[in-house]
Structure 1
Amino acid sequence: MIVIPAIDIIDGKPVRLYQGDYNKKKIVGEDVLEISKKFEREGADYIHIVDLDGAKAGRLINKEIILKLAKTLKIPIEVGGGIRTYEDIKYLIEAGVSRVILGTIAIEDKALLRKALEDFGDKIAVGIDCKDGYVCTRGWLSQSKRKYIDFLLEMEKMGVKNIIVTDISKDGTLQGSNIEMIKEIKEISKIDITASGGVKDIEDIRKLKELDIYGVIAGKSIYSKTLSLKEALELTK
């Protein structure tokens, strides 16, 4: 299992939200690139980047920052938030982004998802962001009528190799990961799972590692210093 530190971007700044609420943002640093370089120095294998402005607006907003990261860092980055056209997907991958995360269009535009999978394969991941058992889209501002389990199984049938599962009610709360939800997914699916939302400390990392999943994303716990990225990386490596 790999540990993936997260950086969310609003107005060009690195932030954290509480349960996806844009009105409850906290700036966690001055420079996205400098934080990314710090994660790289500490031994991270991957960095998770979300353009929160883009997720809300439905189009890439912080493109210049993302491209700078892709060109500067030696480790791969995965990017999500507001990526809703084939042109944006192609643009990001050609610019050096290693994995593009699709959320809203994965549920709203199956034809586009299918084409992206055909052309870019495992460079495409799908974000499954859920609340009360249902998938949320458009920057978590809209709740669909699709149960996350049904949607997950559909994604697997379509050939998606990697899913990023976020329990929105846990995200940014430091209340601990939703271990039961991840365990349930692991039991019914063979897809690579990255768990996101609620990670508090090294015990969460240990519990998720025991489930033998692909990865875990940690954000607020690292910034709040309830989790040492270095310790988490040592445990999982």
Structure 2
Amino acid sequence: MIIFPAIDIKGGACVRLYQGDYETAHQVAEDPQTTAQSFADAGAQWIHMVDLDGAKEKRPVNSQVFFGAAQSGIPVQVGGGIRTLSDVEFYLTRGISRVILGSVALYDPQLVKQSVEQYGEKIAVGIDARNGMVAAEGWTKTSQVNYIELAKQMESVGVKYIIFTDIAKDGMLSGPNLEQLDLLNRAVSCQIIASGGVANLQNIQDLRGLGLYGAICGKSIYSGSLDLRQAIEAAKGE
């Protein structure tokens, strides 16, 4: 299993939120590029980055920050505000290794299909759920679509990677939603990346036990409840 240390960007700074609430944003690290480099030095294989301003404004906002982080030498996946094929191309032609389509998966599955046809495994879909129902627009709106229903739709258009977040768990350090993740992993053939709630090594071992492809760790690393090097070793089963 791959550990994806997370860097969320708001106003060019590394921040964390509680349950996606922008009012709770607080800075957790000095410089995004230095932070990315520290993750690379700890042995991370990937870095997960989110454009919080972009998610709200529905367009790429902090792109230069992500391009800088990609210079750390390890692959970077980016989500937030990617709403058009030109947004996808903008990132993938400038050093970003994978882009994450979020709200558009719900509102414009055709765009996801086109993106996958053009860029294949460089496309991931982020599915964020509140009580099992897909949320969108930076989590400000909740739909009537079940998360597994959307995942199956994404699988049918060729999506290989799904990042699943249980919003109730995000930033709470209360452990991931293992039940929902297990159901999702069994329902589709896509590679599943868990996001939200990871607090400690036991959580990493639990996620690995489900046979997931990856786990995103954010607040746990910044707060010190999870050591990135140890998490990477635990994810490998060592």
Gaps in structure 2 of 5+ consecutive residues: none
**What does residue range 216-231 of structure 1 map to in structure 2 within 5 Å?**
216-231=215-230
- Say if 2:8 and 2:14, in contact at 8 Å, map to a contact too: yes
Residue 63 (1) aligns with residue 63 (2)? yes
- 1-side partners of 2:166 and 2:34: how far apart? 28
The amino acid of 2:117's aligned partner reads E
The amino acid of 1:61's aligned partner reads V
- 2-side partners of 1:216 and 1:111: how far apart? 27
- 1-side partners of 2:190 and 2:109: how far apart? 18
Q: Which residue matches 2:210? A: 211
RMSD over aligned Cα, in angstroms?
0.8
The amino acid of 2:23's aligned partner reads N
Q: Which residue matches 2:10? A: 10
Residue 236 (1) aligns with residue 231 (2)? no
TM-score, length-scaled by structure 2:
0.97
**What does residue range 23-62 of structure 1 map to in structure 2 within 5 Å?**
23-62=23-62
- 1-side partners of 2:11 and 2:118: how far apart? 32
Q: Which residue matches 1:75? A: 74
Q: C-alpha displacement at 1:190, in angstroms? A: 1.5
Q: C-alpha displacement at 1:175, in angstroms? A: 0.5
The amino acid of 2:100's aligned partner reads I
Q: Which residue matches 2:109? A: 110
**Mean alpha-carbon deviation: is it higher for 141-150 or for 220-229?**
141-150
- 1-side partners of 2:234 and 2:149: how far apart? 33
- Say if 2:164 and 2:195, in contact at 8 Å, map to a contact too: yes
Q: C-alpha displacement at 1:235, in angstroms? A: 1.5
- 2-side partners of 1:180 and 1:106: how far apart? 23
Gaps in structure 1 of 5+ consecutive residues: none
- Say if 2:97 and 2:122, in contact at 8 Å, map to a contact too: yes
Deviation per residue, 1:79-135 (Å, 9 max, x gap): 000000111100100001110000011111122111111000000000000001110
Percentage of pairs with the same residue: 47
TM-score, length-scaled by structure 1:
0.98
**Mean alpha-carbon deviation: is it higher for 32-41 or for 109-118?**
109-118
- 2-side partners of 1:187 and 1:234: how far apart? 25
- 2-side partners of 1:87 and 1:47: how far apart? 22
Question: Where does structure 1 differ by over 3 angstroms across 4 or more consecutive aligned residues?
Answer: none
- 1-side partners of 2:222 and 2:54: how far apart? 23
The amino acid of 2:69's aligned partner reads L
Deviation per residue, 1:161-211 (Å, 9 max, x gap): 000000001000000011111111122222100000000100000000111
The amino acid of 1:199's aligned partner reads V
